[in-house]
Structure 1
């Protein structure tokens, strides 16, 4: 099972989830940096309105080739009920996503609102087959079983990929 986890994290919460999922399944991690360089206040004053408008920021890496992976996992914090501008840019930066199985997750302090649905739609519009979506609150991240549920979903999607070959 070849899995790639692509994520953006400003406070470390989404990074922690990505790392916890990657370790037991042997996934490759790609952390995306938002070149806007928001301060903590800037995330709320500038980043959240951009997220709400579906805007994209410049990111590093600017191109993400997932051709060699069977499953692509994308994780985002929730900003104003949406994926971050960096994750919006990730969707456009993906090379080879067409026909890939995908899983999405988000981290938030409360309800994710439409974050996962928007992310699923963006990936589907690029030709990915989204197999699952997992919302995680800050409290969930501290519970091993919540993150394990995400890892189990990724494993299950990967097994489907292996049996289909």
Structure 2
């Protein structure tokens, strides 16, 4: 099953997880850049309220064609217990995604809150079938935990 993993990473933790898990399962990687270019403090001061409201960022690439893939994996950091504005924009930027299987994943400094539920609902709203979700804390990721867990969710979603 051909897999595309699309993610936004604010501090590098989501990138670390996505890169490692993609290497395990052989997924193609697409890293999205938020054109707002938040500093770490602005992520919390300006980005978090936008995340809580479910707003979309201006991102690069602005369109992501997933027509050639069977499974689409979307990853985000957790901001205000929600997907980032960049992750919301990823979902809106997807082209040819209807009917595709999807996995949503998140990284956070603590608990994910309703991040995975909100991201899953957005993917389902685009006509996708969410076949799995995954969360890992930054603390566990730094201990090397997470990549194999996400890879297992992806493998399960691929075979279901």
**Structure 2 matches for 1:57-96, cutoff 5 A?**
57-96=57-96
Q: Which residue of 2 aligns with 1:117?
A: 117
Q: Tell me the secondary structure at the aligned position of residue 133 of structure 2.
A: strand
The list of structure 1 runs, each at least 4 consecutive aligned residues, that deviate by more than 4 angstroms after superposition, is none
What residue ranges of structure 2 are gaps of 5+ in the alignment? none
Instruction: Give the distance between the partners of 1:100 and 1:140, measured in 2 at CA.
Output: 30
Q: Which residue of 1 aligns with 2:44?
A: 44
Instruction: Give the distance between the partners of 1:55 and 1:68, measured in 2 at CA.
Output: 28
For normalisation by structure 1, the TM-score amounts to: 0.94
Q: Tell me the secondary structure at the aligned position of residue 83 of structure 2.
A: coil
What residue ranges of structure 1 are gaps of 5+ in the alignment? 161-165
Structure 1 residues 112-160: Cα deviation after superposition (integer angstroms, max 9, x where no partner): 1000000000000110000111111012213445321210111122233
Q: Tell me the secondary structure at the aligned position of residue 98 of structure 2.
A: coil
Instruction: Give the distance between the partners of 1:137 and 1:60, measured in 2 at CA.
Output: 26
Instruction: Give the distance between the partners of 1:142 and 1:23, measured in 2 at CA.
Output: 17
Across the two proteins, how many residue pairs are aligned to each other? 160
Q: Is the 8 A contact 1:140 1:147 kept in 2?
A: no
Give me the CA root mean square deviation.
1.0
Q: Tell me the secondary structure at the aligned position of residue 37 of structure 1.
A: coil
Farther off after superposition, 133-142 or 101-110:
133-142
